């Protein structure tokens, strides 16, 4: 038996600047795919011309979320030393698992078993998809105990995955949903996005704290490494976009959106943006605003309800200072 | 991609990135929408006569009401409507009208009606041959009156749904009544209605059946049956049926009922699509104030002991009697504060339950001598007396009581302040609502049909308050805004009463048991004839425009007339939340503050961007968003309006997610102390992460 001293996580004493904030925010927005009536999309789905693209987009997202659940958050959490941040990352990991499962929920509702099996085969065979999974997966797998450089690289990659690589896929449901098409599947995506945007900000924030501890020279070296990785992934992403969106004619718009998010990902880790500003389709832009759109009370569940903060009713509750 | 959608989306995109409102993009979107979508689909007719003939011959319009009029008159009426030169002021209004309201060919390809056409058809249909009323109706609707969606959508159409959309049913504690009411729900849901069902009288989980203990399953399984009925019966898949169930907070099943809407509730009790509401008697708040336990009861005991249903007694008056009576089981004791905290938790997590403040409703209920108001409807603005039907075995006739159907309409406050004759506007609206009620016969729900025939209840409300206040430079929630609503709703009350009295006088008929009401005794008018007439500030006077200030003298005269001639309508006013209809008219919804200056509206099938009416780059500071309005100010405004409304007002509260359950409880309690009758949803805006991190980094 080993003779280590195990330390218990003590939330009474903040050890991380923002762990509590990220923790609260994530739990506040808990959701489950079963709350969304995807079956209402079935009718539109049946006469949809680009089923193939749509399915592949979702299959690709499933792979990324699977990698992020099983390796990404998992490994980053394992090697993060602050116990509160570790807890936050473990919670994020659980949400990644919900995301990966929610795509299956959409597949189950819209597709036949045979189609679904084919899709998961496609995932294994698509070179661009496998390329990004491998590229990121390798970095996750090379974290070493006590080596903050490898941990920073993993965090950087995690932010790239969540704030950048997902978006070639998110584009399509947002684009269609904003035009009244397959709205419920789009609702699931907007809920996933709401989570991914905290993950991107949080991991990016942890990465920035780590980065500050490096020497100037090391910082320069890592920055270079980061931009090179981004460019590498970007090239692959362009090919992936062409491949998946070929039949829809949407490639140029998807690419603009990918560049927009690449810049956002860089901002999350505290780096300068890389691509010049350009116009992104406003329908897609409006799809990612999470402030809580106004819902028709007779229609769907809004994405704006969240966990309550409980405080007891006291005598003072009955005093109104008016 | 459709260019008009892109342009419409651009409005929000540029507003949220630059803070500048580019209304010309929305106008351009509207223009392109007509060019690309509407004009190419609009069927061409040589003249009005050909159009009407075609639509009647092809079975789009009913023939009967057209035949009541002379073709020359109809042509004139069309001209009258078209002379208003109506233009859709926003993309939202145009697209909502053509997507959902205009008559289309059966294959959905051709558009057969423009906005004015729909208005004329509604007028002709509802006026039933009365040319004077038809003309007045076109005026009212082109200017300031809007019938509720079912009436606006269905009037004159041959293949149509019902003209009313809102129903309340009372369920009794017997299998016969449960199954009968489920049948009603299927039926009403098929007609596209929203249905409220009162579950307070059902015995709770574990109660005896035929004296054998622990046999009853309680209210939740019944609620589940109702939920399934509503989702089964869905208007040919167009819209899922909607329903709400109400339960008294002293009912023994209350804890499960409150948890039933939580997203993480046990599947066996979770209500996914059915709405819930709780009835709260004042005694609950009083016990909570003193930090006491409350005792839960069974309606089964109450009925056995007193011969009355739980919903038929005032718990506030009877509470200690029930406690002292050994034949009434004290099924459970709960700390009131803890229970109410659970209610607040559920509201944060799901928006439910709605709350009805039982004594605030019944204390001022003008028909209190006729019966109690036991529950509300799907949007918590309908509050009417009900009488439970006795549903017998199949070999005996049922004894039908009174249930509720309500037809609604709304006056655009901004437009109303500008019409020449406010009295005439309200009177026309009342006539139109009256005719809807008389043309409605829900034959498969006898208790509803019976009440409709006897009670003639209607619900006239209003909308566009926030829009109007902005044009007048008045801040929502300010003292001026509260005073304005106080005067405006008093005028609505006065003129709707006057109109109802005139109709009763004309028909020689009042509503059932008028003589037992507070109107007949004159008590209702005490608050008005004895009021202290206060000076109205110039800003409020200006905002009222052509809406008269009602004096005590006017009230005195009206009181005498009502006592002499009666009233035709048992209920007249109710302020609905007004969704789609306010969008078509480019109004802000109901009397609530707008939630966003540039709103994203997600309907089941589309997403549209809607800059608030009258919003400009200059006045945007007046469009304070609902989440930034002080909730106590908002409640004061609703309380001032509520004084003049015989039924209820659909009131949504807005909070942010850094609120605690205690803060939420506090505003509800405040609302209760101010005489508010019901609280509809509580909505919260999730702070996005940028906001909360930004203040710390």
pLDDT value for A285:
87
In degrees rounded to 5, what are phi and psi of residue B156? 85, -15
From the annotation, which residues of A make up the binding site for Fe cation? 65, 96, 99, 162, 196, 199
pLDDT value for B340:
98
Highest mean pLDDT among A21-30, B22-31, B630-639: B630-639
Please report, for chain B, the start and end positions of each structural domain, with discontinuous segments joined by +: 166-363
What is the rounded average pLDDT of the residues B163-182? Answer: 95
Cβ–Cβ under 8 Å, residues A69 and A134 = no
Cβ distance B242 to A17 less than 8 Å, yes or no, reads no
pLDDT category at B234 given cuts 50, 70, 90 is: low
| Model confidence, pTM | 0.86
Contacts (Cβ under 8 Å, ≥6 apart) of A276: none
Residues 583-612 of B with CB under 8 A from A: 595-596, 599-607, 609
pLDDT at A200 over 60: yes
Cβ distance A317 to B632 less than 8 Å, yes or no, reads no
Tell me the per-residue pLDDT of B108-136, one tens digit each, with 9 for 90 and over.
899 999 999 999 999 999 999 999 999 99
Closest alpha carbon to B422 in B548, B249, B583: B548
Cβ–Cβ under 8 Å, residues B610 and A286 = no
Which spans in B34-90 are helix H? 39-41, 48-57, 64-67, 71-82
CATH architecture of the domain with residue range B166-363? Alpha-Beta Barrel (3.20)
CA B528 to chain centre: 26
Active site annotation includes A103: yes
Helix (H, G, I), strand (E, B) or coil at B111: strand
pLDDT category at B306 given cuts 50, 70, 90 is: very high
What is the rounded average pLDDT of the residues B241-270? Answer: 87
Contacts (Cβ under 8 Å, ≥6 apart) of B30: B4, B88, B90, B91, B94
What is the rounded average pLDDT of the residues B612-621? Answer: 91
Helix (H, G, I), strand (E, B) or coil at B575: strand
Highest mean pLDDT among B89-93, B188-192, B241-245: B89-93
pLDDT at B690 over 70: no
What's chain A's average pLDDT?
A: 90
Instruction: State both tokens at B478.
Output: 């300010």
Which chain B positions have a beta carbon within 8 Å of A298's beta carbon? Answer: 194, 239-240, 242, 579, 604
Cβ–Cβ under 8 Å, residues B259 and B346 = yes
pLDDT category at B348 given cuts 50, 70, 90 is: confident
Candidates B261, B600, B667, B683: best to mutate against A (most CBs of A within 10 A) is B600
pLDDT category at B599 given cuts 50, 70, 90 is: confident
From the annotation, which residues of A make up the binding site? 65, 96, 99, 162, 196, 199
Calculate what percentage of chain A has a pLDDT beyond 70.
Answer: 94
* CATH match of A41-289 with 1.10.1280.10: no
In degrees rounded to 5, what are phi and psi of residue B77? -65, -40
Tell me the per-residue pLDDT of A270-298, one tens digit each, with 9 for 90 and over.
999 999 999 899 889 887 654 444 333 33
**Residue B354 carries which DSSP code?**
E
Lowest pLDDT segment from A39-53, A291-305, B103-117, B282-296 = A291-305
Instruction: State both tokens at B171.
Output: 């369920």
Tell me the per-residue pLDDT of B493-536, one tens digit each, with 9 for 90 and over.
999 999 999 999 999 999 999 999 999 999 999 999 999 988 99
pLDDT value for B182:
97
Closest alpha carbon to A74 in A96, A90, A51, A85: A90
What is the rounded average pLDDT of the residues B27-53? Answer: 95
What is the rounded average pLDDT of the residues B389-406? Answer: 95
In degrees rounded to 5, what are phi and psi of residue B689? -65, -35
CB-count exposure of residue B116 (10 Å: 0-12, 13-18, 19+): buried
Report the C-alpha gap between B160 and B62 in whole angstroms.
Answer: 10
Which chain A positions have a beta carbon within 8 Å of B14's beta carbon? Answer: 282
Q: Is the omega angle on the peptide bond into residue B158 within 30 degrees of 0, that is, cis?
A: no
Closest alpha carbon to B193 in B377, B465, B458: B377
Instruction: Tell whether B577 is within 8 A of chain A (Cβ).
Output: yes
pLDDT category at B233 given cuts 50, 70, 90 is: confident
Overall residue count recorded for chain B in this entry: 697
- Higher pLDDT, residue B159 or A305: B159
- Higher pLDDT, residue A17 or B565: B565
Long-range contacts of B626-632 (CB under 8 A, 24+ apart): B626/B592, B626/B593, B626/B594, B626/B595, B626/B652, B626/B654, B626/B683, B627/B595, B627/B654, B627/B655, B627/B656, B627/B684, B627/B685, B629/B476, B629/B477, B629/B593, B629/B654, B630/B477, B631/B655, B631/B667, B632/A320, B632/A322, B632/B667, B632/B670
Cβ distance B661 to A25 less than 8 Å, yes or no, reads no
pLDDT value for B161:
80
Please report, for chain A, the start and end positions of each structural domain, with discontinuous segments joined by +: 41-289
pLDDT category at A187 given cuts 50, 70, 90 is: confident
Instruction: State both tokens at A48.
Output: 């949809």
Cβ distance B657 to A28 less than 8 Å, yes or no, reads yes
Which chain A positions have a beta carbon within 8 Å of B692's beta carbon? Answer: 21, 25
Lowest pLDDT segment from A36-40, B573-577, B635-639 = A36-40
Which of B606, B632, B697 lies closest to A180 in CB terms?
A: B606
Report the C-alpha gap between A299 and A294 in whole angstroms.
Answer: 11
Which chain A positions have a beta carbon within 8 Å of B685's beta carbon? Answer: 291-292, 304
pLDDT at B696 over 50: no
Residue A138 Cα, gap to closest chain B Cα (Å): 30
Instruction: Report chain B's C-alpha Rg in angstroms.
Output: 25
ipTM reported for the complex, 2 dp:
0.89
Closest alpha carbon to B531 in B561, B493, B476: B493
Helix (H, G, I), strand (E, B) or coil at B128: coil
Instruction: Tell whether B13 is within 8 A of chain A (Cβ).
Output: yes
What is the rounded average pLDDT of the residues B673-690? Answer: 82
What is the rounded average pLDDT of the residues A53-82? Answer: 94
């Amino acid at each position: 038996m080993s003779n280590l001293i195990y330390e218990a996580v003590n939330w009474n004493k903040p050890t991380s600047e923002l762990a509590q904030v990220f923790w609260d925010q994530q739990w506040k927005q808990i959701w489950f795919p079963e709350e969304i009536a995807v079956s209402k999309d079935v009718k539109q789905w049946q006469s949809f011309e680009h089923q193939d693209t749509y399915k592949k987009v979702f299959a690709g997202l499933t792979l990324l979320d699977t990698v992020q659940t099983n390796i990404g958050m998992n490994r980053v959490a394992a090697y993060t030393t602050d116990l509160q941040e570790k807890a936050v990352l473990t919670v994020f990991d659980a949400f990644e698992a919900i995301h990966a499962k929610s795509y299956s929920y959409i597949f189950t509702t819209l597709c036949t078993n045979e189609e679904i099996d084919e899709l998961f085969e496609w995932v294994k065979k698509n070179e661009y998809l496998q390329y990004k999974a491998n590229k990121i997966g390798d970095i996750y797998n090379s974290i070493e105990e006590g080596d903050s450089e490898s941990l920073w690289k993993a965090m950087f990659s995690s932010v790239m995955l969540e704030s950048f690589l997902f978006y070639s896929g998110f584009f399509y449901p947002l684009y269609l949903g904003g035009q009244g098409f397959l709205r419920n599947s789009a609702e699931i995506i907007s809920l996933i996005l709401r989570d991914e945007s905290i993950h991107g900000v949080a991991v990016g924030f942890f990465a920035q704290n780590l980065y500050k501890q490096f020497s100037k020279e090391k910082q320069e070296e890592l920055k270079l490494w980061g931009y090179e990785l981004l460019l590498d992934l970007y090239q692959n992403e362009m090919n992936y976009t062409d491949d998946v969106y070929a039949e829809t004619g949407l490639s140029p718009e998807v690419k603009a959106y990918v560049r927009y998010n690449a810049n956002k990902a860089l901002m999350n880790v505290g780096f300068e943006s890389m691509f010049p500003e350009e116009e992104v389709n406003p329908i897609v832009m409006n799809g990612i605003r999470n402030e809580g759109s106004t819902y028709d009370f007779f229609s769907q569940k809004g994405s704006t309800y969240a966990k309550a903060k409980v405080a007891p009713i006291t005598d003072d509750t009955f005093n109104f200072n008016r | 991609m459709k260019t008009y959608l892109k342009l419409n989306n651009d409005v929000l995109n540029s507003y949220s990135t630059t803070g500048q409102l580019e209304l010309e993009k929305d106008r351009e979107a509207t223009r392109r929408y007509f060019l690309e979508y509407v004009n190419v689909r609009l069927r061409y007719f040589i003249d009005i006569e050909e159009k009407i003939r075609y639509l009647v011959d092809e079975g789009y319009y009913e023939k009967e009401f057209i035949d009541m009029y002379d073709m020359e008159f109809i042509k004139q009426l069309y001209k009258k409507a078209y002379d208003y030169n109506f233009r859709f002021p926003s993309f939202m209004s145009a697209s909502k009208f053509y997507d959902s309201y205009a008559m289309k060919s059966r294959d959905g390809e051709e558009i057969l009606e423009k906005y004015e056409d729909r208005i004329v058809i509604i007028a002709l249909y509802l006026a039933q041959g009365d040319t004077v009323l038809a003309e007045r109706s076109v005026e009212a609707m082109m200017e300031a009156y809007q019938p509720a969606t079912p009436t606006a959508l269905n009037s004159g159409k041959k293949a149509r749904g019902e003209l009313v959309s809102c129903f309340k049913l009372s369920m009794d504690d017997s299998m016969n009544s449960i199954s009968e009411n489920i049948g009603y729900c299927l039926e009403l849901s098929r007609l596209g209605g929203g249905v409220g069902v009162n579950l307070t009288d059902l015995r709770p989980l574990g109660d005896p059946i035929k004296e054998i203990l622990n046999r009853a399953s309680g209210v939740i399984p019944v609620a589940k049956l109702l939920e399934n009925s509503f989702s089964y019966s869905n208007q040919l898949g167009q819209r899922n049926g909607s329903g709400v169930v109400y339960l008294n907070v002293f009912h023994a099943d209350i804890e499960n009922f409150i948890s039933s809407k939580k997203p993480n509730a046990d599947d066996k009790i979770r209500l996914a699509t059915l709405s819930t509401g709780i009835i709260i008697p004042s005694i609950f708040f009083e016990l909570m104030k003193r930090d006491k336990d409350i005792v839960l009861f069974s309606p089964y005991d109450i009925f056995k002991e007193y011969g009355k249903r739980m919903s038929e007694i005032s718990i506030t008056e009877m509470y200690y009697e029930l406690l002292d009576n050994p034949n009434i089981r004290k099924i459970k004791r709960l700390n009131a504060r803890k229970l109410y905290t659970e209610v607040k938790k559920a509201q944060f997590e799901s928006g439910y339950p709605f709350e009805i403040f039982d004594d605030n409703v019944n204390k001022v209920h003008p028909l209190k001598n006729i019966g109690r108001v036991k529950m509300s409807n799907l949007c918590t603005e309908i509050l009417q007396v009900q009488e439970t039907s006795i549903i017998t075995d199949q070999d005996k006739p049922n004894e039908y009581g009174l249930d509720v159907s309500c037809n609604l309409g709304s006056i655009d406050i901004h437009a109303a302040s500008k019409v020449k004759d406010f009295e005439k506007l309200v009177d026309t609206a009342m006539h139109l609502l009256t005719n809807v009620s008389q043309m409605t016969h829900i034959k498969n729900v006898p208790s509803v049909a019976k009440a409709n025939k006897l009670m003639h209840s209607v619900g006239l409300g209003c909308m566009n308050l926030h829009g109007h206040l902005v044009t007048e430079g008045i801040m929502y929630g300010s003292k001026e805004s509260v005073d304005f609503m106080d005067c405006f709703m008093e005028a609505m009350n006065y003129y709707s009463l006057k109109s109802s009295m005139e109709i009763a006088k004309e028909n020689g008929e009042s509503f059932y048991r008028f003589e037992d009401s507070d109107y007949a005794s004159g008590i209702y008018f005490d608050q008005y004839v004895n009021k202290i007439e206060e000076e109205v500030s110039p800003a409020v006077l200006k905002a009222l425009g052509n809406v008269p200030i009602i004096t005590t003298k006017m009230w005195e005269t009206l009181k005498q007339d009502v006592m002499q001639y009666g009233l035709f309508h048992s209920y007249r006013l109710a302020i609905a939340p007004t969704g789609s209809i306010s969008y078509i008219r480019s109004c802000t919804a109901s009397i609530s503050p707008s939630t966003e200056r540039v709103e994203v509206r997600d309907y089941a099938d589309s997403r549209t961007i809607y800059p608030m009416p009258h919003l400009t780059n200059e006045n945007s500071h007046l469009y304070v968003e609902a989440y930034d309005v002080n909730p106590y100010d908002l409640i004061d405004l609703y309380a001032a309006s509520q004084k003049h409304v015989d039924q209820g007002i659909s009131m949504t509260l807005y909070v942010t997610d850094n609120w605690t359950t205690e803060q939420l409880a506090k505003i509800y309690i405040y609302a209760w102390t101010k005489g508010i009758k019901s609280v509809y949803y509580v909505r919260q805006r999730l702070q996005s992460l940028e906001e909360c991190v930004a203040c710390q980094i």
